[in-house]
Amino acid sequence: MNKNLIFDKSYVDGLWVSEGDLYFDVFNPSNNKKIARVFDGGSKIAKKAVDAANNAFSSWSNKTAKFRSEILEKWCELIIENSDDLAEIMTLECGKPIKESKGEVLYGASFIKWFAEEGKRIYGDIIPSNSVDKRIVVLKQPIGVVAAITPWNFPLAMITRKVAPALAAGCTVVIRPSEETPLVATAILHLAEVAGFPPGVINLVLGKDPSPIGKVFCESNLVKKISFTGSTEVGKILFSQSASSLKKLSLELGGNAPFIVFEDADIDKAVEGAINSKFRNSGQTCVCVNRILIHDDIYNQFSLKLCNEVSKLKVGDGFDKDVKIGPMINKKAISKTNSFVEDSIKKGGEILTGGNPIGDCFFEPTVIGGASNEMKFSKEEIFGPVVPLYKFSSDEEAVKMANDTIYGLASYFYSKNISRCWKVAEELEYGMVGINEGLISSEVAPFGGVKFSGQGREGSKYGIEDYIEIKYMCFGNIK
């Protein structure tokens, strides 16, 4: 691993900085050993970073889209060149199996490439006028300083998915990465510096406690937009704290993804899709399957095949190339996952495979049969390698069960019937629907949810719109 990529400080106005002598430690979740100690920037550095981004905004937003695009392209190239090292840093601090970490680095780079291109296509409009002596023009301009608050489960890609469209549109940014995974963030900021972003255009604030930093972002009138990925609970706090500054927010929050297997589904493909979606990052993604709903007629067949495959998934340190299920991020995550299993057993569920923590760091991939509506995971996001199986007997019942949640991020179903595919896809109250597909994330597609899963879309041609203001110009007295 190239240790020269890692820094222990925040990055503000083109410099690696610290304030005072507060530190926090970063741990390897595979063995709970300390891997780094970094300076805690807290609210003081957050304020400086916001000022730096604000000062840099005028110059950056006045550059041509082509100029900005070339620096973004360079940043993307550097990330790809350093992808092996970045993947190792990621596995070290968030535990993700090394192959998945490499996949995330490339996934993260794909957003930079995509938005480097999209930034050149932020076209305005000329609107046919309502009067012969007037001309109406719509101009699209960058929104201003953007704060990106990002999670530990995708410590690189969630930064680039927010920051790349912002920078491409002409905004300047301040990033607050999770306290669990600051190292990969410092590594890509270093590469951003090498790529040639001018001082102040991209800033990073490290801190143990997210609250004071988040509060600075929310309450600042200089920050025009916050993009956050994390829990619904924290999303609501950011939303209410931003009321005084009337800030725009993109929120990518929790999920409770249903995975429906109809009686005409290709069972082998459905098992494969369920495993891909459920056990990605050891069940710690917000688009992970939370509930599998299976038609009565195929329940036994599907559950046998699923358990057979799940029991083969190797658990362990993400650096072991055969490992498919890495550690959970911390002990709290293990006890939360365990509480879902215990709750379901008390309420009549049956462990079909797995069911237990392994030491302090891991949890067995687990399938629970006979799930019912009273069980905790019917309403709450599991965020661990546990999946409950429910039965249904009609399309109406399946859709009703799938929609019976406050969340609306990802949903999935398997069927060979094209009419059913259209109807069910239209009826699911979710921002994303995987139809005969368990992996739906991509830089070309709009990622985001409805209901308590948030607002706004990331990636795709829509992803840049969240960073743009529309200005209407009326030219009068044209003779």
Catalytic residues: 252, 286
Minimum Å distance from CB 459 to ligand SIN? 8
Minimum Å distance from CB 124 to ligand SIN? 30
- Helix 210-219 vs helix 232-241: crossing angle, to nearest 10: 40
Minimum Å distance from CB 120 to ligand SIN? 24
CA distance 116 to 64: 12
Contact set with ligand SIN (CB under 6 A): 151, 153-154, 229, 285-287, 441, 447
**Closer to ligand SIN at the Cβ: 170 or 365?**
365
Provide CB contacts within 8 A for 297, sequence distance 6+: 263
Q: Which residue is nearest to ligand SIN (CB)?
A: 441
* DSSP code at position 171: -
With contact defined as beta carbons under 8 Å apart, do 154 and 285 qualify?
yes
**Between the CA of residue 95 and those of 216, 263, 325, what are the distances in Å?**
30, 37, 9
Minimum Å distance from CB 287 to ligand SIN? 5
Minimum Å distance from CB 331 to ligand SIN? 21
With contact defined as beta carbons under 8 Å apart, do 340 and 376 qualify?
yes
Which amino acid type is present at position 202? Answer: I
* DSSP code at position 280: G
**Closer to ligand SIN at the Cβ: 48 or 457?**
457
**Closer to ligand SIN at the Cβ: 153 or 366?**
153
Minimum Å distance from CB 233 to ligand SIN? 15
Provide CB contacts within 8 A for 371, sequence distance 6+: 291, 344, 349, 377, 378, 388, 389, 390
Torsion 433-438-442-448 (CA) sign: positive
**Closer to ligand SIN at the Cβ: 286 or 424?**
286
**Closer to ligand SIN at the Cβ: 151 or 214?**
151
CA distance 113 to 75: 9
CA distance 372 to 349: 8
CA distance 91 to 93: 6
Place of tokens 């009419």: 419
Which amino acid type is present at position 366? Answer: T
Among 256, 252, 193, smallest CA distance to 407 is for 256
Minimum Å distance from CB 286 to ligand SIN? 4
Minimum Å distance from CB 155 to ligand SIN? 11
Minimum Å distance from CB 382 to ligand SIN? 13
CA distance 8 to 92: 15
* DSSP code at position 281: G
**Closer to ligand SIN at the Cβ: 74 or 162?**
162
Residue-level length of the chain: 479
Q: Is 103 exposed, middle or buried (0-12, 13-18, 19+ CB in 10 A)?
A: middle
Which amino acid type is present at position 476? Answer: G
Q: How far apart are the first and last CA of the chain?
A: 68
**Closer to ligand SIN at the Cβ: 145 or 329?**
329
Among 225, 232, 287, 230, smallest CA distance to 250 is for 225
**Closer to ligand SIN at the Cβ: 200 or 230?**
230
Kind of pairing, strands 33-39 and 257-261? unpaired
**Closer to ligand SIN at the Cβ: 7 or 152?**
152
| CA dihedral angle for residue 408, residue 413, residue 418, residue 423, rounded to 10 degrees | -30
CA distance 48 to 212: 14
